[in-house]
Amino acid sequence: MDISSVFFALVTVVAIVSALMVVTCKNPINSALSLVLTFFCLATYYAMLNAPFMAAVQIIVYAGAIMVLIVFTIMLLNIRVDANKKGSHQVALGSVMGIVTLLLTGLILTRGKVSQPVGGITSDMINKLGHTELIGKVMFTDFLLPFEVTSILLLVAIVGAVILAKRKLS
């Protein structure tokens, strides 16, 4: 067993335990902080998969921005400990969804056929150009249109948030 497998196993244990803590913790702040830990583990996976840009974005966007948002919401709404009693139907539904997802993943892993790397972007290319640079180039060439559409999407999201949440409109 080489060092990277040991490291992978270690990160996986932390990821699973912290993910379980997200749903089992009684205090919402503890749940939120466990979620941060899960995000860090995911970032570690990306780094291990030779995708440093993804790892950085995962930490900046999810562990940083989104978590701050969640913690702020918890504090502003003043959610008390144990206020969110988890109903039995919620546990049942969650378990069913979990099992279905697990089966799906199992099916894909055992029956899916990915014999060799596919597509135009090879690991040679990534090593030569660098992961971040490659993403930038693809984003402004092949995916220029989706990239531009994102700006309209964000505009709609901002305008929509103002309409739905502003206290008093003219």
- Residue among 2, 4, 113, 123 that touches other proteins (CB under 8 A): 113
Q: By CB under 8 A, is residue 99 in contact with other proteins?
A: no
Whose structure tokens read 């402004």? 140
Complex with other proteins: residue 48 or 133, whichever CB lies closer: 133
CB 124 → other proteins: shortest distance, Å? 11
- Residue among 20, 69, 90, 143 that touches other proteins (CB under 8 A): 143
Residue 41 structure tokens: 């583990």
d(CA 118, CA 124): 13
Q: By CB under 8 A, is residue 137 in contact with other proteins?
A: yes
CB 110 → other proteins: shortest distance, Å? 8
Complex with other proteins: residue 7 or 140, whichever CB lies closer: 140
Most distant CA pair in the chain, distance: 67
- Residue among 68, 100, 108, 130 that touches other proteins (CB under 8 A): 108
Residue 163 structure tokens: 């309409």
Q: By CB under 8 A, is residue 129 in contact with other proteins?
A: yes
Residue 15 has phi, psi (to 5 degrees) of -60, -45
d(CA 59, CA 66): 10
Q: Is 39 exposed, middle or buried (0-12, 13-18, 19+ CB in 10 A)?
A: buried
Q: What is the DSSP letter of 104?
A: H
Q: By CB under 8 A, is residue 114 in contact with other proteins?
A: yes
d(CA 151, CA 157): 10
- Residue among 78, 112, 123, 124 that touches other proteins (CB under 8 A): 112
Give the residues lining the site for other proteins (CB under 8 A). 104, 107-108, 111-114, 117-121, 125, 129, 134, 137, 140-146, 149-150, 152-153, 155-157, 159-160, 162-164, 169-170
